[in-house]
Structure 1
């Protein structure tokens, strides 16, 4: 008892000693002038401020320790450094002018560095950039990120593909917690809205060390919008119209912050009719989506926490053959009704030079699928929570599953020891899948995960090293009479160094694993969403992979050039393969395993000539090849593509942050196909857009206008699930968006 009292006393002393203030000034490196309105931010503390008219700034009530301070300003190079707190000296910071865009802090990696400081190469795009490109949904927008594509079913359902890997091999994080919503199926989308999202980060390659099973292929890390700055109130109202679907999306948000408490609310609604090609509308690609987000934050010197809630409800048509030609926005049979509830809590407790992070999440997912033949025909398990009432003759779902997932992520950041930053942690998940419909796609089951990890970032004068190890165990109880257990040990090693003054190299070696999901283990029936009879295999093994990733980057004030290459070997790769037979007039597909390898990469150029700093030319090429050990090609591998973009950024009289762009994306023929695929022809897509902010009644009005597939090209993407029916992807589309900030 005495020991406990002593520990509590020492904790209170450390808290009392933790209240520190700092102040300083930011100046121009070349001119020596002070810089007003520079943004300064501590990512670990989630505290920020801006310099005043004289370039001065101050922070109050900071905990003791070593924290990264990032400072940035438009037209200047973003800088960061580790600041030891407390400090008694005023800070004098400098920024050098640069045509390179401001860098952002990467949240998906454990040490929250700028990309230039990271050992791992992370792709990041703001939601503002994705929407400016004319993307209709978040899933479609993510497909515009280098190395990322999407398996699509129309425009309402898009599943991310990272370097040829998708389904459960790509893990999605939102609000700081792992998203679970029956993502194993090709025809299951993200179940997330872009409203209330700040940015998307992509880890390409095995991230099992950080996130455990299902991160074998990579991670999509979706960052929610930040709270308002201290002692401020913000509100906005916006909407976008899409000509092709005669659809719209609207969003309204309010957020306010005091010294300690913060809150935000955002609601959005989207509706779209069937999308149009140059020849016809694709029947039943229509969908509706409603989304609401709320957040509450509290922060003191040595403790911060935020609680967020997101509910997303959507009704999505499942297209088949071309039929009704209309602009009705109510889905026809068959369709899905999806409901996602995401509760998350992220908290940090600061000690002297160390901190404890604990993130908790609860996700409730309800999936219903309605089909013609089940009209007024109810069956299934004897549960009492159906939404429809037999007495009123209402339609009942053929398939109804509820997935309830609780997860936790606890990390302790040890005190910085010289060159070492170290994290140890535990992560886990409890998940229950329950069926309520008459069709059983996957059985009732309980899944439990547990993992323990350790990771270090080591700073040397000329290079940085990141390394770590992790152990995971997953056990599954199926229908109370069958259990399976999977475990794996994984590690990662990475190094970043400057080969020359302007050349940076990153080499990362990592292993990852994925336990087979319930569909792969237990399927035995018709999957109507894919029109096939699927048979699982309870004897499937872990997928285990090793990936080598090399990234080279050259950068000066006029040009940026990068080359990323990877080789990914996967033992016991799981995939569906037809056996040539039929059951109930449906082709039979079996889940089988074979070793596989994927390889390829990305090459990119960004040219911004001085003194024409407003002009940017960007070009990138992406390629990936996937093969089984037998020499056969893997299915659903995206075609090679080349993108060329000319972009202009400038301020004019009456407008700020004005931009315009024109983009040509060339997708090459995909002839490296699996035995049950057909080749896909290449095509070119032209898009363009412009936008900016204008002052209306002393507030900002953001305007975006864009057009995609401007030539109204008829084409089929190799990853479209409508390809076997010969159905084209979306034709020409214009979008007009307005957002007014109060």
Structure 2
């Protein structure tokens, strides 16, 4: 067994070589220039002296791409021999004009902001974290003018664009339509806010590209993708605390990439007590517990790339009743049903019941499962993009005080999505997309 592994390792080493050299600009070394082999996961950045080295490059003829912000990209063909180091240098010329800003969306192609007929706003991960309050929609509202939300609790927000919302605003997760009973305002968006890398908001009609649900606009939430150095494990962890409702949030993520394969996983958990407002103090029925789990595996080779993502969302959210005592204006709780429920004589909610992480009997339980596959094939001068998605959404509402284990409402939604697009440049240099 040891001999066999040694022979395999020797064969792998013998079938690869390395590429090294220096990148110059205006006769001086160019630092942090990108050197990459298109269609593979091989790439690196130059040092302060402009030097670079790519290891474990398969033997054969390759096209090497040199690029840097403010300079024109350069392509050079290089022949790599097994067990040898090939040297190649590049000289980049400055770009005569500034580059236009490009939004890389999670759908079929990139969209240039300056040429788009409708306004497009982009929030980076840093801006999402700075604007974060209760959920990812509230963070987007703070960062994008013209975007608002209907909020029925610290964990429930539905986006509105120029006065239109619900089924008129399309929400996407990495290009996949978010199907989670979006027509109501008693449940939020089933997406892990700690896993979002950027948010793109299209403000205006986008039905031609996205379908009839995008009458008001589109909100595309792009998760973090693995782009780490080959053969190294990278991770991050964060914790969040909010004083208003004593929210406790934590998230841990791991990413690994090797030989074109990419792996990623993240787990997040949040819980909170009833939140406070200036007029009523703590609002009874607004505590929640929320669990997220995400796993991703992908591969990038010469033929293209593919990625498979699975997500789990589990949220237990209290239902705010809003009933109060007529004299003290303190919140009351429902303990009976039908004719036995006397609104005027309901018992008062005690202070300990307002300041607890325990979920009261009247609550809703929302679960959302998602399986997403995205694949890109290089076909000649064009590309074939496919998207396959399966979603299962389950919402149960426990609204019987005398039978707290019995769901008064149970709604299940299964959604199957597929999208196939072919994009190829025409003889005029324009892009043609066939869906």
Task: Name the TM-score class by shorter chain.
Answer: 0.7 to 0.9
Equivalence for 1:648 = none
Matched-pair contact (CA < 8 Å) for 2:40–2:302 = no
Equivalence for 1:275 = 275
Deviations 1:575-597 (A, max 9, x none): xxxxxxxxxxxxxxxxxxxxxxx
Equivalence for 2:308 = 307
Say yes or no: does 1:210 pair with 2:238: no
Change (3 A) 1:41 1:189: farther
Equivalence for 1:158 = 157
Equivalence for 1:242 = 242
Matched-pair contact (CA < 8 Å) for 2:41–2:300 = no
Matched-pair contact (CA < 8 Å) for 1:22–1:90 = no
Change (3 A) 1:192 1:109: closer
Match of 1:358 among 386, 392, 400: 386
Q: In structure 2, how many angstroms separate the alpha carbons of the residues matched to 1:360 and 1:301?
A: 22
Change (3 A) 1:402 1:32: farther
Pairwise mapping of residues 562-641 of structure 1 onto structure 2 (< 5 A)? none
Matched-pair contact (CA < 8 Å) for 2:41–2:301 = no
Deviation at 1:187, TM superposition (A): 2.2
**What TM-score, normalized by structure 1, do the two folds share?**
0.46
Equivalence for 1:34 = 29
Change (3 A) 1:109 1:91: farther
Q: In structure 1, how many angstroms separate the alpha carbons of the residues matched to 2:166 and 2:22?
A: 49
Equivalence for 2:326 = none
Q: In structure 1, how many angstroms separate the alpha carbons of the residues matched to 2:257 and 2:105?
A: 22
Deviation at 1:57, TM superposition (A): 5.5
Q: In structure 1, how many angstroms separate the alpha carbons of the residues matched to 2:40 and 2:205?
A: 28
Deviation at 1:175, TM superposition (A): 3.1
Equivalence for 2:139 = 141
Does the residue aligned with 2:251 lie in a helix, a strand or coil?
strand
Equivalence for 1:132 = 130
> Comparing both structures, which one devotes a greater share of its residues to helix?
2
Deviations 1:674-723 (A, max 9, x none): xxxxxxxxxxxxxxxxxxxxxxxxxxxxxxxxxxxxxxxxxxxxxxxxxx
Does the residue aligned with 2:208 lie in a helix, a strand or coil?
helix
Equivalence for 2:358 = 330
Deviation at 1:26, TM superposition (A): 6.2
Equivalence for 2:10 = none
Equivalence for 1:170 = 169
Equivalence for 2:341 = none
Say yes or no: does 1:370 pair with 2:365: no
Please, which runs of 5 or more residues in structure 1 have no aligned partner?
1-20, 377-393, 426-742
Equivalence for 1:398 = 408
**What TM-score, normalized by structure 2, do the two folds share?**
0.75
Matched-pair contact (CA < 8 Å) for 2:39–2:304 = no
Say yes or no: does 1:191 pair with 2:201: no
Q: In structure 1, how many angstroms separate the alpha carbons of the residues matched to 2:41 and 2:114?
A: 20
How many correspondences in the alignment? 373
Deviation at 1:408, TM superposition (A): 0.6
Does the residue aligned with 2:126 lie in a helix, a strand or coil?
helix
Q: In structure 2, how many angstroms separate the alpha carbons of the residues matched to 1:156 and 1:163?
A: 22
Equivalence for 2:287 = 286
Please, which runs of 5 or more residues in structure 2 have no aligned partner?
1-17, 80-87, 323-329, 332-348
Match of 1:343 among 371, 380, 385: 371
Does the residue aligned with 1:143 lie in a helix, a strand or coil?
helix
Does the residue aligned with 2:215 lie in a helix, a strand or coil?
coil
Deviation at 1:259, TM superposition (A): 1.4
Change (3 A) 1:46 1:359: farther
> Comparing both structures, which one devotes a greater share of its residues to strand?
1
Does the residue aligned with 1:195 lie in a helix, a strand or coil?
helix
Matched-pair contact (CA < 8 Å) for 1:127–1:194 = no
Equivalence for 1:569 = none
Q: In structure 2, how many angstroms separate the alpha carbons of the residues matched to 1:301 and 1:401?
A: 44
Equivalence for 1:424 = 434
Deviation at 1:105, TM superposition (A): 4.0
Change (3 A) 1:155 1:301: same
Q: CA RMSD in A?
A: 3.6
Does the residue aligned with 1:128 lie in a helix, a strand or coil?
helix
Deviation at 1:133, TM superposition (A): 2.7
Does the residue aligned with 1:214 lie in a helix, a strand or coil?
helix
Change (3 A) 1:45 1:123: farther
